[in-house]
Amino acid sequence: MKLLLKAVTIASTIVATPVLAQTWTLAPEGSHLAYGSIKKNTVGEVNSFSKLSGQVSQDGKAEIEIDLSSVETNIDIRNQRMIEYVFRKAGTASLTAQFDMSEVSALSVGEATTVDAEAQLSLAGAEVGFDAEMFVARLSETSVMVSTNDMIFISTEDAGVDAGVDKLMQLADLPGITRTVPVTARFIFNLDDKKVEAAPVAETTVLAAAVEGDVKAGKKVFRKCSACHKLDADRHTVGPSLHGIFGAKAGQADGFRYSDPLQQSEIVWTPETMAAFLTDPKGTVPGNKMQFPGLKKEADIANVIAYLQAETQG
């Protein structure tokens, strides 16, 4: 669900250019929001929502609503349990975003691009911020499609629905349901007023956002890590929190159960030791529990380290 807001953010940046300074409305018939889950370690399922609504305003404000009662799991009793226990009869989830218009240049019909976006999901009292890379295509003068460029993973803890998932496991007598949820989305936005404003002569070019260097690039790389690692202090999930990691001794953060090899490694995390570990986690510390195979591009390693240095210290 978090993904939806990101999509809206991107559409917003497109439609709010000087050529397209009008309100755009989400077309439910062409839009699709789905998420997956795995139970008993081997059974995968895809669920979706059939009722979506919202719009993107002239000033770049995106507002979307998901009708939670429209959840479709293909089993009626499971739909009811999702509504009652996971969504806690909330009715709707709201997605809002305010974007930076300089992120995206105006697209001509038939053109497409990928952009980053940030957004916020509000679900039954929980507020969740997230970011994602989105694919944006201009279908016509009055229609834009926004979709996820890669699969997005959402933590059930972040969304505040862990207790509901526990209840589903109890009711269905299941040994487990995954707590990291993959999400995909496709959204179509149509122009309300089909009169498209004329572009000011020689003033319509929107410059691409300034490159922010390695930290910005590293934020994108970190998406590969975010399903298991958080940056908040003492917030451990599948993996340990990375807050304050540089200068710390490996395997020693309070509250997380590390493997013996990592605890005994004597590694102190510096940019150099982090680079070696990210290149080959299993080879650097044989027997550690980290399942990620490592990053293969030197630029990705350098960028994600720059991002971690900027975001995890202090």
What distance in Å separates the CA atoms of residue 230 and residue 180, rounded to the nearest whole number? 13
Domain with CATH 2.40.128.110 in the chain: 2-191
> Exposed/middle/buried for 296, CB within 10 Å: 0-12, 13-18, 19+?
exposed
pLDDT in tens, the chain (314 residues): 434 444 444 444 444 444 444 688 999 988 998 999 998 888 999 999 999 998 877 766 778 899 999 999 989 999 999 999 999 999 999 877 765 444 555 778 888 888 777 778 888 889 888 887 888 888 888 888 888 888 888 889 999 999 999 999 999 999 999 998 888 888 888 987 544 444 343 333 222 222 234 788 888 888 888 878 898 888 888 889 999 999 999 999 999 999 999 999 999 999 899 999 999 999 999 998 888 888 888 888 998 999 998 888 75
CA distance 224 to 303: 13
Output the pTM of the full model: 0.61
**Rounded distance between C-alpha atoms, residue 102 and residue 214, angstroms:** 19
Do residues 242 and 253 touch, judged by C-beta distance below 8 A?
no
Q: What is the pLDDT of residues 71-108, one digit of tens each?
A: 999 899 999 999 999 999 999 998 777 654 445 557 78
Residue 284: φ, ψ to 5°: -75, -45
DSSP type of residue 166: H
Q: Which CATH number fits domain 214-312: 2.130.10.10, 1.10.760.10, 3.40.50.2300, 3.20.20.70?
A: 1.10.760.10
Residue found under tokens 């009292």? 125
Task: Assign a CATH topology to domain 2-191.
Answer: Lipocalin (2.40.128)
Q: Where in the chain is the domain with CATH 1.10.760.10?
A: 214-312
Name, in order, each residue with C-beta under 8 angstroms of 78's C-beta and a sequence gap of 6 or more.
Answer: 168
All residues at 6 or more sequence positions from 238 whose CB lies less than 8 Å from its CB, including other chains: 180, 227, 228, 229
Cα–Cα distance measured from residue 77 to residue 276, given in angstroms and rounded to the nearest whole number: 50
Per-residue pLDDT tens for 45-78?
Answer: 999 999 999 887 776 677 889 999 999 998 999 9
